[in-house]
């Protein structure tokens, strides 16, 4: 197996910095300038990377678990010609990273892909595993036109895959030629090998039936406040291939056009970010070529939102889990979507740079910070700010559990210790922030890894949260 | 002679080019009866030019409504109506729309128009420019039945399928002849497949040239099926006038039932039908 050079995003960022420095020295354009055109090279990899440098592979960040050891070419396997790309997916317990993935980057000026309608490639697995992601358009420079096909079943024979280009007219200068990510979710943690060959953009002509969706095709509703920024999610496109089969890909927001029914209430930009600008109601929809997109968001803006009083503890005296005032520790999640009993969904928002956790259909939810766990032995108190939208329900209460993971440093295992307290309705308010401070009484607090918030059977079903941290008094 | 390059031309250009082609055709047809054969021999005498620019002409067209017997003999699921929701002239085209809706016990509605008893012709060239719908369970068809259907019944009357398509196969159409001993699931048939386009993305021309000796099927000027009297494994029943039918069926024996992924409403758009005499 021949190793191909790779650069991580860190290395790339350095190149970007150099480029920036060079650009700033350039003179202005002359009057005779014509619009640049970019190569239309369709091939990405045949027996070698086409039109790309040796350093075409850019791995996902190893700090995030990407394993950089398993990428190379193989002269003993090829769908066509004498070489293919070989990817060795690591075991789930591999200390050097439990998944492999990255992009094939055009390090030149990019390519003009407007004359193609699909990316095609051949792949073969040593076993019939499922690869998490194949796609293109991710360039680690904004990923404006990213396209991803998820959970692709490999065959142990060579098989061709087709990923439609959602709107070729957008790809006048694309640098993200290919992306893949593969872990072992489908193989019970066992690593495996797969090969990819003949990656190219094509004009098939046989791809039809554009069906776009936002919010996964659902008509959703939410209330919010002035200056909140809400990201449109669940953006996908379903196309029908020449053989009559449908293929659905996740697409970047940039492929669609967005519309707000009332620009005095909400605006949407090309990145699919909705900004609330006034009180009232607005419906957000999308389209492409005038074809309506399935799904919408009906927004009710309640007007100005009062932010919680900013914390004043010195940063050195705080271990922050969720706050824009302090630097947060490494977080696993602010909603673990624990099955099967959790009903809580997240609709977090951002008011002028202050991120707010927003929980709907709340029964219980967890924050976890286990990688690494937190040594709170110097800390004396727990703090959080809670806002209950609307009228406070009679009997509303909020139960909080702080959990130390114990000697095994993992959730469970019989060595965990917890501190639990319940905030009664008397300490909460409707349509206002309540500041909660509780002294820590945990017997062990060197490996704190989790908070659990519960409504304890009360009618408290919606809340916002901010400034969740430990502090030393 | 291959007419593939005519696809992007206007209909008028196509006609004039077809006229030119006929001159060549005289030299090539007799010795080259394969896929590159000239298909448009009959161009001089137009007997029906239906451009669908105004309301559907009721001196030419009628409707068949309802669910027929056993879903028009094929277990089809639609109820045909003549409501504008299902059949209308719009933007210079005949638009037949299949809708998913409860209607008099059926799950779907659509339409079937036909020239029975109004325009019937023996031999000649019959072609239409159509943009097909697509999706599993849709069954658009442009076809003909013998004018003695009510007397001798089917399949004795004969059936010429100029074009039929399975919605689950957006690049494939079939042209067929049905007659006694070769009908239903066992016609004399052949498929034509687009390799770089789809029948639901663009308009395509579907036609036949029909003489006492053969029926030729073509798509966009490419001849793909040549059926002679000797090719049918039974009686040749195509020496009488036939009438034209356009319909969009839902479900049935040909492509099975629609799935949740099948898009409704879905349309079959017919830009024109032109019929020429066989001379």
B141 within domain boundaries: yes
* B256 Cβ under 8 Å from any chain A Cβ: no
* A244 Cβ under 8 Å from any chain B Cβ: yes
Q: Is cis: bond before A236, omega within 30 of 0?
A: no
* A289 Cβ under 8 Å from any chain B Cβ: no
User: How far is CA A438 from each of CA A54, A256, A422, A434, rounded to the nearest angstrom?
Assistant: 57, 48, 10, 13
Interface of A with B in 169-208 (CB under 8 A): 203-208
**Structure confidence at residue A1 (pLDDT):** 52
B164 within domain boundaries: yes
**Structure confidence at residue B24 (pLDDT):** 37
User: Could B170 and A205 be called an inter-chain contact, meaning their C-beta atoms sit closer than 8 Å?
Assistant: no
Rounded average pLDDT over B250-260: 95
For residues A191 and A184, is the Cβ–Cβ distance under 8 A?
yes
Rounded average pLDDT over B135-157: 97
Residues of chain B with Cβ-Cβ distance to A203 below 8 Å are: 196
User: Could A209 and B135 be called an inter-chain contact, meaning their C-beta atoms sit closer than 8 Å?
Assistant: yes
User: Could A209 and B200 be called an inter-chain contact, meaning their C-beta atoms sit closer than 8 Å?
Assistant: yes
Rounded average pLDDT over B152-177: 97
User: Could A205 and B196 be called an inter-chain contact, meaning their C-beta atoms sit closer than 8 Å?
Assistant: yes
Indicate the residue of A205, A211, A238 with minimum beta-carbon distance to B197.
Answer: A205
* A39 Cβ under 8 Å from any chain B Cβ: no
**Structure confidence at residue B196 (pLDDT):** 94
CA distance A337 to chain B (A): 28
A387 within domain boundaries: yes
For residues B43 and B125, is the Cβ–Cβ distance under 8 A?
yes
**Structure confidence at residue A31 (pLDDT):** 58
Same domain, A159 and A232: no
pLDDT(B19) > 80? no
Cα dihedral B268→A218→A353→A356 (10° resolution): 180
Residues of chain A with Cβ-Cβ distance to B139 below 8 Å are: none
Of the two residues A175 and A19, the one the predictor is more confident about is A175
CA distance B132 to chain A (A): 12
**Structure confidence at residue A30 (pLDDT):** 56
User: Could B198 and A205 be called an inter-chain contact, meaning their C-beta atoms sit closer than 8 Å?
Assistant: yes
Summarised one tens digit per residue, pLDDT across range B217-230 is: 999 989 999 999 99
**Structure confidence at residue B6 (pLDDT):** 31
* B200 Cβ under 8 Å from any chain A Cβ: yes
pLDDT(B31) > 80? no
Residues of chain A with Cβ-Cβ distance to B201 below 8 Å are: 205, 208
Indicate the residue of B194, B198, B261 with minimum beta-carbon distance to A246.
Answer: B261
* B13 Cβ under 8 Å from any chain A Cβ: no
Indicate the residue of A203, A238, A242 with minimum beta-carbon distance to B171.
Answer: A242
Indicate the residue of A206, A209, A211 with minimum beta-carbon distance to B197.
Answer: A206
Mean of pLDDT over chain A: 91
For residues B151 and B122, is the Cβ–Cβ distance under 8 A?
no
**Structure confidence at residue A32 (pLDDT):** 61
Same domain, A197 and A215: no
Q: In degrees, to the nearest 5, what angle opens at C-alpha A440 toward C-alphas A435 and A445?
A: 130
A127 within domain boundaries: yes
A187 within domain boundaries: yes
**Structure confidence at residue A352 (pLDDT):** 87
Mean of pLDDT over chain B: 88
Q: What is the ipTM of this complex?
A: 0.78
Residues 6 or more apart whose CB falls under 8 angstroms from that of B101 comprise B107, B108, B109
Distance CA A52, CA A56 (A): 6
Indicate the residue of A206, A238, A240 with minimum beta-carbon distance to B196.
Answer: A206
User: Could A209 and B263 be called an inter-chain contact, meaning their C-beta atoms sit closer than 8 Å?
Assistant: yes
CA-nearest residue of chain A to B135? A244
User: Could B198 and A243 be called an inter-chain contact, meaning their C-beta atoms sit closer than 8 Å?
Assistant: no
Indicate the residue of B135, B166, B198 with minimum beta-carbon distance to A242.
Answer: B198
For the ranges A13-27, A342-356, B189-203, the maximum mean pLDDT occurs at B189-203
Lowest mean pLDDT among A88-97, A347-356, B72-81, B231-240: A347-356
Same domain, A66 and A117: yes
- CATH code of residue B267: 2.60.120.200
B28 within domain boundaries: no
3-state secondary structure of B157: coil
Of the two residues A421 and A3, the one the predictor is more confident about is A421
User: Could A240 and B135 be called an inter-chain contact, meaning their C-beta atoms sit closer than 8 Å?
Assistant: yes
**Domains contained in chain B, number:** 1
Interface of A with B in 409-438 (CB under 8 A): none
pLDDT(A394) > 70? yes
3-state secondary structure of A388: strand
- Range list of β-strands (E), chain B: 46-50, 62-64, 78-80, 87-90, 93-103, 106-110, 112-114, 120-121, 124-131, 138-146, 159-164, 172-178, 188-193, 204-210, 214-219, 222-228, 242-250, 266-276
CA-nearest residue of chain A to B200? A208
| % of chain A exceeding 70 in pLDDT | 92
CA distance A246 to chain B (A): 8
* B135 Cβ under 8 Å from any chain A Cβ: yes
**Residue that is last in its domain, among A202, A218, A252:** A202
A361 within domain boundaries: yes
Residues of chain A with Cβ-Cβ distance to B194 below 8 Å are: 205-206
Summarised one tens digit per residue, pLDDT across range A321-333 is: 999 999 999 999 9
pLDDT(B39) > 90? no
If you compute the radius of gyration of chain B from its CA atoms, what whole number of angstroms results? 18
Q: In degrees, to the nearest 5, what angle opens at C-alpha B137 toward C-alphas B135 and B138?
A: 65
Residues of chain B with Cβ-Cβ distance to A210 below 8 Å are: none
State phi, psi for A249 to the nearest 5 degrees.
-125, 150
Same domain, A321 and A457: yes
Local confidence band at B21 (pLDDT 50, 70, 90 cut-offs) = very low
CA-nearest residue of chain B to A238? B261
Rounded average pLDDT over A66-84: 95
CA distance A203 to chain B (A): 8
Same domain, A246 and A350: no
| % of chain A exceeding 90 in pLDDT | 85
Local confidence band at B168 (pLDDT 50, 70, 90 cut-offs) = very high
pLDDT(B32) > 60? no
- CATH code of residue A90: 2.60.120.260
Length of chain B: 279
pLDDT(B12) > 90? no
Summarised one tens digit per residue, pLDDT across range A22-52 is: 344 444 555 566 667 899 999 999 999 999 9
* B191 Cβ under 8 Å from any chain A Cβ: no
* A353 Cβ under 8 Å from any chain B Cβ: no
Cβ density class A124-137: b for 16+ within 10 Å, e for less: bbbeebbbbbbbbb
Summarised one tens digit per residue, pLDDT across range A152-207 is: 999 999 999 999 999 999 999 999 999 999 999 999 999 999 999 999 999 999 99
CA distance B194 to chain A (A): 8
**Structure confidence at residue A223 (pLDDT):** 86
Structure tokens at B262: 């099948």
Rounded average pLDDT over A127-150: 97
**Structure confidence at residue B221 (pLDDT):** 84
Lowest mean pLDDT among A351-365, A366-380, B19-33, B76-90: B19-33
**Residue that is last in its domain, among A278, A301, A324:** A301
* A246 Cβ under 8 Å from any chain B Cβ: yes
Between chain A and chain B, the number of residue pairs with CB atoms below 8 A apart is 44
* B261 Cβ under 8 Å from any chain A Cβ: yes
Report the catalytic residues of B: 159, 164
* B8 Cβ under 8 Å from any chain A Cβ: no
Summarised one tens digit per residue, pLDDT across range A240-296 is: 999 999 999 999 999 999 999 999 999 999 999 999 999 999 999 999 988 899 999
| % of chain B exceeding 70 in pLDDT | 86
Same domain, A33 and A91: yes
* A291 Cβ under 8 Å from any chain B Cβ: no
A32 within domain boundaries: yes
**Domains contained in chain A, number:** 3
Distance CA B35, CA A265 (A): 63
Strand partners, A43: A200
If you compute the radius of gyration of chain A from its CA atoms, what whole number of angstroms results? 25
For residues A388 and A430, is the Cβ–Cβ distance under 8 A?
yes
User: Could B134 and A240 be called an inter-chain contact, meaning their C-beta atoms sit closer than 8 Å?
Assistant: yes
**8-state DSSP, A430:** B
Nearest of A254, A134, A237 to residue A182 by alpha carbon: A134
CA distance B263 to chain A (A): 9
User: Could B198 and A207 be called an inter-chain contact, meaning their C-beta atoms sit closer than 8 Å?
Assistant: yes
User: Could A208 and B198 be called an inter-chain contact, meaning their C-beta atoms sit closer than 8 Å?
Assistant: yes
**Residue that is last in its domain, among A202, A236, A270:** A202
pLDDT(B16) > 70? no
User: Could B201 and A211 be called an inter-chain contact, meaning their C-beta atoms sit closer than 8 Å?
Assistant: no
Of the two residues A457 and B31, the one the predictor is more confident about is A457
Residues of chain B with Cβ-Cβ distance to A238 below 8 Å are: 261
For tokens 């259909």, the residue is A361
Rounded average pLDDT over B16-25: 37
Same domain, A327 and A459: yes
**Structure confidence at residue B18 (pLDDT):** 37
Domain limits for position B196: 45-276
CA distance A200 to chain B (A): 16
Same domain, A282 and A323: no
Same domain, A240 and A275: yes
A423 within domain boundaries: yes
A244 within domain boundaries: yes
A307 within domain boundaries: no
CA distance A19 to chain B (A): 41
Positive or negative: CA dihedral A453, A456, A458, A461: positive
Summarised one tens digit per residue, pLDDT across range A291-321 is: 899 999 999 998 998 999 999 999 999 999 9
| % of chain B exceeding 90 in pLDDT | 81
CA-nearest residue of chain A to B169? A244
B74 within domain boundaries: yes
Distance CA B217, CA B229 (A): 15
Same domain, A320 and A418: yes
Lowest mean pLDDT among A8-17, A259-268, B38-47: A8-17
- CATH code of residue A419: 2.60.120.430
Same domain, A33 and A94: yes
Domain limits for position A460: 315-471
pLDDT(A100) > 50? yes
Same domain, A461 and A332: yes
């Amino acid at each position: 197996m021949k190793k191909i050079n790779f650069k991580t995003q860190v290395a790339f960022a350095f190149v970007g910095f150099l480029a920036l420095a060079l650009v700033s020295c350039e003179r202005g354009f002359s009057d005779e300038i014509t619009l640049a055109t970019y190569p239309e090279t369709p091939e990405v990899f045949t027996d070698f990377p086409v039109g790309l440098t040796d350093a075409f592979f850019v791995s996902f960040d190893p700090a995030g678990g990407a394993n950089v050891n398993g990428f190379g070419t193989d002269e003993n396997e090829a769908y066509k010609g004498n070489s293919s790309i070989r990817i060795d997916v690591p075991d789930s317990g591999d200390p050097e990273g439990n998944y492999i993935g990255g992009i094939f980057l055009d390090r030149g000026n990019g390519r003009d892909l407007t004359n193609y309608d699909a990316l095609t490639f051949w792949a073969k697995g040593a076993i019939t595993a499922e690869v998490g992601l194949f796609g293109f358009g991710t360039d680690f420079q904004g990923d404006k036109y990213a396209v991803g096909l998820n959970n692709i079943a490999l065959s142990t024979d060579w098989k061709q895959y087709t990923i439609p280009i959602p709107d070729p007219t957008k790809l006048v200068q694309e640098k993200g030629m290919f992306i893949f990510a593969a872990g072992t979710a489908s193989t019970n943690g066992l690593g495996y090998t797969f090969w990819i060959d003949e990656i190219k953009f094509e004009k098939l002509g046989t791809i039809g039936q554009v069906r776009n969706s936002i919010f996964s095709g659902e008509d959703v509703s939410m209330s919010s406040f002035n200056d909140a920024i809400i990201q449109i999610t669940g953006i996908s496109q379903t196309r029908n291939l020449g053989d009559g089969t449908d293929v659905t890909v996740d697409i970047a927001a940039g492929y669609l056009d967005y519309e707000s029914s009332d620009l005095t209430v909400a605006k949407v930009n090309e990145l699919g970010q909705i900004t609330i600008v006034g009180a009232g109601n607005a419906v957000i929809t999308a389209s492409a070529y005038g074809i309506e997109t399935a799904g919408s968001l009906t927004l009710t803006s309640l007007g100005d939102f009062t932010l919680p009083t900013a914390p004043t503890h010195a940063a050195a005296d705080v271990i922050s889990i969720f706050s824009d005032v302090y630097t947060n520790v490494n977080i696993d999640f602010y909603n673990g979507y624990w099955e099967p009993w959790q009903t809580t969904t997240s609709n977090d928002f951002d008011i002028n740079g202050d991120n707010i956790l927003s929980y709907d259909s709340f029964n219980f939810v967890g924050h976890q910070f286990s990688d690494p766990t937190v040594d709170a032995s110097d800390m004396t108190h727990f703090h959080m700010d809670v806002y209950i939208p609307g009228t406070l329900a009679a009997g509303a209460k909020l139960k909080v559990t702080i959990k130390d993971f114990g000697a095994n440093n993992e959730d469970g295992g019989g060595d965990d210790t917890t501190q639990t307290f319940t905030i009664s309705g008397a300490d909460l308010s409707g349509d206002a922030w309540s500041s909660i401070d509780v002294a820590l009484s945990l017997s062990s607090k060197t490996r704190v890894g989790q908070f659990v918030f519960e409504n304890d059977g009360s009618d408290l079903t919606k809340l916002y949260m901010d400034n969740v941290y430990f502090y030393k008094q | 002679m291959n007419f593939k390059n005519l696809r992007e031309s206007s209909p008028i250009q196509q006609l004039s080019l077809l006229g030119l082609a006929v001159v060549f055709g005289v030299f090539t047809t007799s010795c080259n009866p394969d896929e590159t054969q000239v298909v448009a021999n009959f161009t001089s005498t137009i007997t029906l030019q239906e451009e669908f620019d105004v309301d559907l002409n009721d001196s030419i067209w009628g409707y068949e409504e309802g669910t027929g017997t056993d879903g028009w003999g094929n277990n089809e699921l639609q109820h045909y109506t003549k409501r504008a929701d299902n059949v209308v002239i719009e933007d210079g085209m005949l638009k037949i729309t299949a809708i998913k809706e409860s209607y008099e016990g059926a799950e779907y509605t659509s339409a079937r128009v036909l020239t029975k008893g109004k325009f019937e012709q023996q031999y000649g060239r019959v072609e239409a420019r159509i943009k097909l719908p697509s999706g599993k369970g849709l069954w658009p068809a442009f076809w003909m039945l013998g004018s003695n259907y009510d007397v001798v019944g089917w399949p004795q009357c004969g059936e010429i399928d100029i074009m039929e398509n399975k919605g689950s196969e957006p690049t494939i159409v079939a042209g067929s002849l049905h007659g006694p001993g070769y009908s239903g699931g066992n016609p004399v048939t052949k498929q034509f497949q687009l390799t770089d386009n789809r029948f639901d993305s663009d308009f395509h021309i579907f036609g036949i040239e029909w003489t006492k000796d053969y029926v030729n099927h073509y798509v966009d000027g490419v001849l793909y099926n040549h059926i002679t009297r000797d090719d049918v494994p039974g009686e040749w029943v195509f020496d009488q006038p036939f009438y034209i039918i356009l319909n969009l069926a839902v479900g049935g024996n040909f492509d099975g039932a629609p799935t949740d992924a099948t898009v409704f409403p879905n349309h079959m758009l017919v830009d024109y039908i032109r019929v020429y005499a066989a001379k």
